Amino acid sequence: DGGITQSPKYLFRKEGQNVTLSCEQNLNHDAMYWYRQDPGQGLRLIYYSQIVNDFQKGDIAEGYSVSREKKESFPLTVTSAQKNPTAFYLCASSISSYTGELFFGEGSRLTVL
Amino acid sequence: GIQVEQSPPDLILQEGANSTLRCNFSDSVNNLQWFHQNPWGQLINLFYIPSGTKQNGRLSATTVATERYSLLYISSSQTTDSGVYFCAVEGSNYQLIWGAGTKLIIKP
C-alpha cells in the first residue's frame, strides 16, 4: 500500500544528543514536510522540501536540520541546539507544494530525558 | 498573515448526535483542508475543499470562500469520531496555516 512511514514511533534520548527521525514515502510525491506538535496544541512547520536537494525553513527551524537526497526520503535531525525537543513529530507529503492535499505519517514521539 | 479560527474549541456529544464545526479565515485562500487527528496522533485528511460542498459517508464539508468560512458536518456520531479536527488553509505563499483545532468527544 502507498503511504508514509515514520520511524521510530517512540524515541528516548538524553539531553545533548542529536537524534534523527526517518520519513519515507512511496506516493511519488514531490513535496515533503516536517511538523512539530506539542500537547494540546496545533501543528507548527519545521522544514519543507518541494524537490530533491532543496529544502526551506518553516516557522520553527532553529535547532533542526534536514536533507532531501532522494525523492522518497526526508529525514529530520533534532540537534542538541534545540532547547525543548520533547514533542510529537509528524512527517507529511503532497503531490506538489502548489496543489496541497496533505497526507501524514503516524508520527514519532520524542522524549528527551 | 492569514488568521484561522476554529470553533467551538471543545465539544462533547452523545453517540448518535449531529455536530457542526466551523473554520473562519481572515483573507482569500487558495484551498482549505479538514483533518481528523485520532487519540493516537494519526492525522487523516478528510476533505480538500477550496469551495463548494463535498460528502464522504457521514461527513460533509462546505466552504464559502467569498464569506471566508468552512463548515464540517458530522452526522450520527460514533465513538470513533472522537479526536481533534483541524482546518488548514493555503495562503498566497502556498504554505498551510493551521487552526488550533476542535476537540470532539463522543460518549457511548
What pLDDT digit, counting tens, does each position of B3-52 carry?
999 999 999 999 999 999 999 999 988 899 999 999 999 999 999 999 99
CA distances from residue A87 to A37, A39, A44, A55, B47 in whole angstroms, order as listed: 6, 8, 11, 22, 26
- Residues in A closer than 8 angstroms to B88, CB to CB, are 43, 102
Q: How many other CB atoms are there within 10 angstroms of residue A68's CB atom?
A: 19
Answer yes or no: do B30 and A100 touch at CB < 8 A.
yes
> Which chain A residues contact residue B90 at CB under 8 A?
100
Contacts of B95 in chain A (CB under 8 A): 45, 48, 58
Pairing of strands A10-13, A108-112: parallel
User: Do residues A16 and A80 touch, judged by C-beta distance below 8 A?
Assistant: yes
Picking from A103, A100, A30, A34, the residue whose alpha carbon sits closest to that of residue A71 is: A30
End-to-end CA distance of chain A: 36
**What is the distance of C-alpha B101 from the center of its chain?**
8
Average pLDDT on A19-26 reads 97
Q: Inter-chain contact A90–B43, Cβ cutoff 8 Å?
A: yes
Minimal Cβ distance to B45: which of A41, A101, A109: A101
Tell me if B42 and A41 make a contact (CB, 8 A cut-off): no
Higher pLDDT, A44 or B94: A44
Can you give the pLDDT at residue A67? 97
Nearest to A102 among B45, B99, B100 (CB): B45
A49 within 8 A of A41, measured Cβ to Cβ: no
Quote the cell numbers at residue A72.
522518497
Q: Which three cell numbers stand for residue A35?
A: 511538523
Q: What cell does B67 get?
A: 464569506
Q: Which residues of B72-98 are buried (b: 16+ CB within 10 A; e: fewer)?
A: bebeebeeebbbbbbbbbbbeebbbbb
Amino acid identity of A53? N
Contact A104 B90 (CB under 8 A): no
Q: Which residues pair with B78 in a beta bridge?
A: none
Closest by Cβ to B98, choosing from A43, A97, A101 = A43
Return the closest-CA partner of residue B99 out of B80, B84, B82, B83. Answer: B84
Best probe of the B interface among A57, A94, A102, A103, by most B CBs < 10 A, is A102
Judge whether A73 is closer than 8 Å to chain B, CB to CB. no
Q: pLDDT tens-digit profile of A34-80?
A: 999 999 888 999 999 999 999 999 999 999 999 999 999 999 999 98
pLDDT at A27: 94
Report whether pLDDT(A99) > 70: no
| pLDDT tens-digit series, residues A77-90 | 999 888 899 999 99
